[in-house]
Structure 1
Amino acid sequence: MTGAHAVAAAVVFVWLGMVLAISFLEAPLKFRAPGVTLQLGLGIGRLVFRALNAVEAALAIALVVALIVDPPAATAVIAAAVAVVMLAAQLGLVRPALNRRTRQVLAAPPEQVGSGQRRSRAHYVYVALEVVKVIGLLVAGIALLA
């Protein structure tokens, strides 16, 4: 394994760990904590996901640079590209819709929040892209280690 491949593998697994911990563990659990209202959970989520997405963008750039410096097997490149494209779709296409929805919920009077509100379609699209991104990162990481 070359130095660039080791860096790429490290970046992939750090990125994967962050996504799994935040998107699939912290995000759903925060709404189950005592006293956390929908508005409070959404406010926390906005901050957490803004930070996560900024770190993800930096990791994606680092990954692309490492793959350009010393291209690994095609499987690793394609899987990494899938992850990067999923992140770009989340940030460019889905997050704006989620941000609009979150602003609406946070602006609503507290007594109206949660009464009959469903998750937006954008939320389900974001989660679907997140699952594909996780698969891409996992495959890329395994391929880089092989």
Structure 2
Amino acid sequence: MNAASAAVATALTFVWLGMVLAISFLEAPLKFRAPGVTTPIGLGIGRLVFRALNRVETVLALAVIAAVATGAPPLRVGVLTAVTALLLAAQLTLVRPRLNRRSDRVLAGETLPRSRAHLVYIVAESLKALALLALGISILTAR
């Protein structure tokens, strides 16, 4: 991979990974432990934060794809880029809409059991974080 494309792709990948780790695995679970944060307030905050995160992730994904595509990457970098982008796309098109519908119901006052869609999102987010880590390392070690 050429040096300029690799540098840009690496930086973007690790910024993206940092955002996912900070928001999905730190902010999201902790907000519900804060004093006075009710489930509706936590859901409202979560929706705003994840909407913003997903918009930034989309921009970062497109930028990583562009940097990788212009850098003559080895196959493993191309595959990991595609896997990461597909995981994000699946979250945004398949899982997030279900979670939004569910949170609409909770915010309207319904009491619902734990959500399987939430568990699917957590698994996808974990896989995406691992894919981002693998992608960043693969770009750094690409020759």
Q: TM-score, normalised by structure 1?
A: 0.92
**Identity fraction in percent:** 58
Contact 1:94/1:126 (8 A) holds in 2: yes
Alignment of 1:24-103 (within 5 A): 24-103=25-104
Q: In the aligned structure 2, how far is the partner of 1:118 from the partner of 1:63?
A: 38
Unmatched 5+ stretches in structure 2:
none
Amino acid corresponding to residue 69 of structure 2 in structure 1:
I
- How far apart are 1:68 and its partner, in Å? 1.1
Contact 1:5/1:67 (8 A) holds in 2: yes
Partner of 1:122: 117
- 1:21 aligned counterpart, secondary structure: helix
Q: In the aligned structure 2, how far is the partner of 1:30 from the partner of 1:67?
A: 35
Partner of 1:139: 134
- How far apart are 1:71 and its partner, in Å? 2.6
**More displaced stretch, 65-74 vs 125-134:** 65-74
Q: Which of structure 1's runs of 4+ aligned residues deviate more than 6 A?
A: none
Unmatched 5+ stretches in structure 1:
none
| Matched residue count | 140
Amino acid corresponding to residue 133 of structure 2 in structure 1:
L
| Aligned CA-pair RMSD | 1.1
Amino acid corresponding to residue 104 of structure 1 in structure 2:
R
Q: In the aligned structure 1, how far is the partner of 2:80 from the partner of 2:61?
A: 12
- Write out per-residue CA displacement over residues 24-59 of structure 1, whole angstroms, 9 at most, x where no aligned residue: 000000000000000000000000000000000000
- Write out per-residue CA displacement over residues 73-113 of structure 1, whole angstroms, 9 at most, x where no aligned residue: 222221121111000000000011000000000011xxx65
Q: In the aligned structure 2, how far is the partner of 1:89 from the partner of 1:107?
A: 27
Q: In the aligned structure 2, how far is the partner of 1:123 from the partner of 1:71?
A: 37
